[in-house]
Every structure is written in structure tokens, then in C-alpha cells.
Amino acid sequence: MSDLVYCNHSCSPSLEFDMSTFEVRVSRDRPLSVGDELTFFYPSTEWDMVQPFNCFCGSQNCLGLIAGSQDMEASVLSRYWLNPHVKDLLAGKQMTVAPESTEEISLKA
């Protein structure tokens, strides 16, 4: 078992877990320095979390309650790198929005 299973959540993650390619990458949004904690944004891999939790990551951008991506605003998720399966599910959710909604959501690649 990999030590990565013990990787904590952060609202300012240092890593990206790409489940489609089984890669772990340094986050594109911030540099990684020696001694930095290795963290990732849990909703980037989780659509539905069985146990949402209150986050105390200490980030300036801390979101507080962390739940699966399905329970988060698309405008919040657009600030994060998301796995392809989460993007696909989010796009499907957006298609169920009332037709009069013209808001465009841009998700990071």
C-alpha cells in the first residue's frame, strides 16, 4: 500500500491525483518546496463523499465544509484541477439546470 493513501485534504493543494492516468503531479497552481505537506483537493476525485467534513486546512481560501463535487458550486470547483470523471459528472449536472440559465462554467484542464 502506498503512503499516498494517507495524503490529507487542503483547499490549497500541493498535489493533483489524476485517476485517469494514475499519476500524482505537483499542483500547477503553486510551487512545492522542501518540507511542504503533500495534500490534494478531495473533491477533485470524489463526486459523492460518504462523510463530508469541516476543513481546518488553514488556507486563506479554506472552503469550510468539504463534500463531494456534486454538492459544491461549479464556480468554486472551477478554481481547482478536477479529474475527467468529475468534470463529466459536473457537465451532466449542468445540463439539468433550467434552460433559461445562460451562465457559462469554465473548468480547468
pLDDT of the chain, 109 residues: tens digit per residue:
676 678 999 999 999 999 999 999 999 888 899 999 999 999 999 999 999 999 999 999 999 999 999 999 999 999 999 999 999 999 988 877 655 555 555 555 5
Answer yes or no: is 102 within a domain: no
Answer yes or no: is 106 within a domain: no
Answer yes or no: is 89 within a domain: yes
Answer yes or no: is 57 within a domain: yes
Instruction: Please state the domain count of the chain.
Output: 1
Q: Which domain holds residue 72?
A: 3-95
**pLDDT at site 78:** 95
Q: Where are the extended beta strands (E) located within 33-84?
A: 39-40, 53-54, 65-66
Answer yes or no: is 101 within a domain: no
**pLDDT at site 30:** 84
**Residue 55's closest CA among 47, 66, 45?**
66
pTM of the predicted model, to two decimals?
A: 0.80
Answer yes or no: is 47 within a domain: yes
